[in-house]
């Protein structure tokens, strides 16, 4: 092997070694610089999250990133568990940090106009006392059944799976700490509530007519409630 070939090989090895050392130095420098910035792991939005989305459903729309503390927003979310049971108060876009202030309880959404309404639906509000809205426990995002009693004393379940979009009032009751047998019992709501629901045109007519000429009770529904038929009853049936 001649001297020129040996020199060329040596030069190549030295060049590769130099490049490796340079990359290693730069990486270490980046690590040292990040360490000096006191990095924090936070959740960052990677795909759009719609207003009203439950925190439990955003796992595929966020990633964990290490950011300098100076670049982190107030009260950042580091794990979904921190906002469990809450919903997004506004639309979140990719690149945004996930902040605790962006997630609230469904009840709190009433301050921001309620949850989004499906396209093509009316929003209809009816006043009901607390007993008629499951003791004041109905909240935005719930689905309810609507029972109507007319002037003849006939009661019928007219609608099922109706989305509640906003609740005002009916949830502000307090329970005294003294003078009650069970201080931990659920308090009795005071006053009434304004319940806003998403309804089709035909459903809106039925609900408004019922509110004008009859009385309305709401029931909370879940996925296991049977959806067959619209049962009815008349008070005269109980005296036969």
List, in sequence order, every residue forming a beta bridge with 40; answer none if it has no partner: 67
Q: Which residues contact 28 (CB under 8 A, 6 or more apart)?
A: none
> Which residue stretches of the chain are H helix?
3-36, 201-213
Q: Which residues contact 43 (CB under 8 A, 6 or more apart)?
A: 62, 63, 64, 65, 76, 77, 78, 79, 80, 97, 98
**pLDDT, tens digit only, all 240 positions of the chain:** 565 554 555 555 555 655 655 556 556 545 554 455 578 899 999 999 987 889 999 999 999 998 887 888 888 899 999 999 888 877 888 988 898 888 888 766 655 566 778 888 999 999 998 888 888 778 888 889 999 998 888 899 999 889 988 888 754 433 444 444 554 444 555 567 889 999 999 999 999 999 999 999 999 887 777 666 666 666 656 555
Cβ neighbourhood burial of 22 (10 Å; 0-12, 13-18, 19+): exposed
What pTM, to 2 d.p., does this model score?
Answer: 0.52
CA distance 166 to 140: 5
Residue found under tokens 């019928």: 156
């Amino acid at each position: 092997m001649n001297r020129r070939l040996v020199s060329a090989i040596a030069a190549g090895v030295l060049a590769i070694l130099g490049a490796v050392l340079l990359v290693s130095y730069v990486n270490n420098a980046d690590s040292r610089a990040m360490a000096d910035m006191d990095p924090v792991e936070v959740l960052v939005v990677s795909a759009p999250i719609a207003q009203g989305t439950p925190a439990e459903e955003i796992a595929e729309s966020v990633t964990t990133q290490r950011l300098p503390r100076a670049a982190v927003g107030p009260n950042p979310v580091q794990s979904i568990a921190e906002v469990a049971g809450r919903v997004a108060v506004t639309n979140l876009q990719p690149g945004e940090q996930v902040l605790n202030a962006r997630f609230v309880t469904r009840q709190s959404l009433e301050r921001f106009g309620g949850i989004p309404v499906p396209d093509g639906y009316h929003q209809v509000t009816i006043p009901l006392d607390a007993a008629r809205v499951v003791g004041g426990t109905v909240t935005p995002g719930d689905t309810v059944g609507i029972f109507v009693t007319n002037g003849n004393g006939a009661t019928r379940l007219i609608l099922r799976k109706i989305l509640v979009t906003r609740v005002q009032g009916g949830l502000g009751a307090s329970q005294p700490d003294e003078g009650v047998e069970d201080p931990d019992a659920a308090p009795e709501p005071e006053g009434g509530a304004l319940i806003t629901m998403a309804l089709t045109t035909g459903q809106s007519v039925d609900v408004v007519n019922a509110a004008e000429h009859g009385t309305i009770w709401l029931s909370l529904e879940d996925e296991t409630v049977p959806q067959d038929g619209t049962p009815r009853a008349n008070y005269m049936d109980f005296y036969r």
